[in-house]
Chains A and B, each alone.
Chain A
Amino acid sequence: AIQMTQFPSSLSASVGDRVTITCRASQDIRSDLGWYQQKPGKAPKLLIFAASTLQSGIPSRFSGSRSGTDFTLTINSLQPEDFATYYCLQDYTFPFTFGPGTKVDL
């Protein structure tokens, strides 16, 4: 199975900060990666699909990029509602695999 590493596992930030989260795949997954936001007690929400395409209704301060097997989620100008846990998911091949998550807190 494809392994996804994600870093950092947690970070502290302030409103207005720029935040960067990285996922690395253990092998080529093309651009078949999505980013999900999850708040406590809630279902995950799709933010970015195909590595860099913003899901409908998601603010433009969220962006994604790919460099080989490294994928980055960037949040520009962090807002209070962005404090959450973020996961990447490779949907290139089964079994799908999530990264371990990054908790963004104040």
Chain B
Amino acid sequence: EVQLVESGGALVEPGGSLRLSCTASGLAFTIYGISWVRQAPGKGLEWVSFIGGRGAKKYYADSVKGRFTISRDNSENMLYLQMNSLRVEDTAVYYCAKDRLGYCNPGGCEGLDVWGQGTQVTVSS
């Protein structure tokens, strides 16, 4: 069974940093691109960042560009999101989610088919 499990969420003060992790199992991790998606309390879903299977391709939402960094360790089946200069508006549940297809380019990956359960990030003084 393919599983993604997020961890690392916490309460942090504005301006602080946090690193989220996503542990993958049951899949050929290196062939799949993976996104981070977040959901603020009572709000809709917001796509945050993407990393390609080999880690070379990285994309970010404008709202986090320059503050967040996505990375992966394929030898450990791990995905990371380093979040710096955190703001109150970054408060959300953060999900990792994999592309449905492997070895694909944007527009051909057919959605995000497996999601983790989410990890809560709260930015507050």
Contacts and interface: CB of A to CB of B under 8 A. Distances in A.
Contacts of B61: 95
B112 A46 contact: yes
Interface of A: 1, 30, 32, 34, 36, 38, 43-46, 49-50, 53, 55, 87, 89, 91-101
B44 A100 contact: yes
B99 to A, nearest CB: 8
Contacts of A99: 44
Interface in B74-117: 95, 97, 100, 106-113, 115-117
| Range class of the B interface residue count | 20 to 34
Contacts of B116: 43
Given A94-B50, A95-B61, A46 B111 contact: yes
A88 B24 CA distance: 25
A87 B95 CA distance: 15
B35 A49 contact: no
A100 B39 CA distance: 11
A46 B106 contact: no
A62 to B, nearest CB: 14
B13 interface: no
Interface of A is mostly: loop
Contacts of A100: 44
A92 B111 CA distance: 10
Contact of B47 (A30, A50, A89): A89
Nearest to A43: B115
Nearest to A38: B45
Given A44-B115, A55-B113, A96-B35, A91 B107 contact: yes
25 contacts: A1-B62, A30-B107, A32-B107, A34-B112, A36-B45, A43-B97, A43-B115, A43-B117, A44-B37, A44-B45, A44-B95, A44-B112, A46-B100, A46-B111, A49-B110, A50-B110, A55-B100, A87-B45, A91-B107, A91-B109, A95-B61, A95-B62, A96-B50, A97-B47, A98-B47
Nearest to A29: B107
